């Protein structure tokens, strides 16, 4: 049986989802991944997820099981929880997110233009920067709905369901005796600022240790 790599990018916020706009939540995102995996009858897949899609991948495991997954790579994930609450003091206050979303409502294209360059490393070509900016050009209601879902999501129970240490939800145990789960800390959020763990490099990194 061959191994497969399924790259779960920040698709929830940068593309029209399979589900209707009313279903912009992580259960729906995970169900979309499951529908694709089942339709293609994939086995021993490697899920490589960046940013918001980290929650999508984790929810897929807790909602649909790990039987088809051999490896999981999370790049700058938003798990286990972004929002500050009484029992999550490390999160950011909702006011910070609301202020960001207010900027998006005023002029989302301008916000993209202002933030494209800082997202990339200095030697990135203008063409690559334009490509990155184009990925964000989608329906503002969908962007806002996905952003709110990301901020309000709590993946701590998902972490427990997949066997993580409840005191260290970012340090999960292996998926199983013949599976591995690896996560790298201390990198910038942009996957394009992490060349050793992006694209082919990420896949090579997994294979070299898996």
Residue with the bigger pLDDT between 2 and 157: it is: 157
pLDDT (mean) for 152-178: 62
**30-65 residue pLDDT tens:** 999 999 999 999 999 998 888 899 999 999 999 999
Domains and CATH numbers, the chain: 4-209 (3.40.50.1820)
Q: What is the pLDDT, as a whole number, of residue 190?
A: 58
**82-119 residue pLDDT tens:** 999 999 999 999 999 999 999 999 999 999 999 888 88
Task: Name the 3-class secondary structure at 63.
Answer: helix
What is the residue whose two structure tokens read 């929650």?
55
């Amino acid at each position: 049986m061959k191994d497969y790599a399924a790259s779960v990018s920040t698709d929830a916020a940068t593309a029209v989802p399979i589900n209707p706009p009313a279903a912009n939540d992580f259960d729906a995102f995970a169900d979309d991944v499951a529908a694709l995996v089942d339709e293609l009858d994939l086995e021993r897949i490697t899920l490589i997820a960046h940013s918001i899609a980290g929650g999508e991948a984790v929810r897929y495991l807790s909602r649909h099981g790990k039987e088809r997954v051999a490896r999981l790579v999370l790049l700058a994930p938003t798990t286990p929880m972004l929002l500050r609450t009484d029992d999550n003091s490390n999160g950011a206050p909702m006011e910070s997110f609301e202020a960001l979303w207010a900027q998006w409502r005023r002029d989302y294209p301008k916000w993209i233009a202002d933030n494209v360059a800082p997202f990339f490393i200095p030697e990135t070509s203008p063409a690559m920067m334009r490509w990155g900016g184009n990925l964000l050009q989608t329906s503002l209601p969908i962007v806002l709905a996905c952003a709110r879902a990301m901020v309000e999501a709590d993946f701590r129970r998902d972490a427990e369901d997949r066997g993580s240490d409840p005191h260290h939800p970012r340090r999960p145990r292996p998926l199983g005796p013949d599976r591995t789960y690896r996560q790298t800390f201390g990198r910038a959020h942009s996957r394009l600022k992490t060349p050793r763990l992006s694209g082919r490099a990420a896949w090579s990194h997994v294979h070299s240790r898996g």
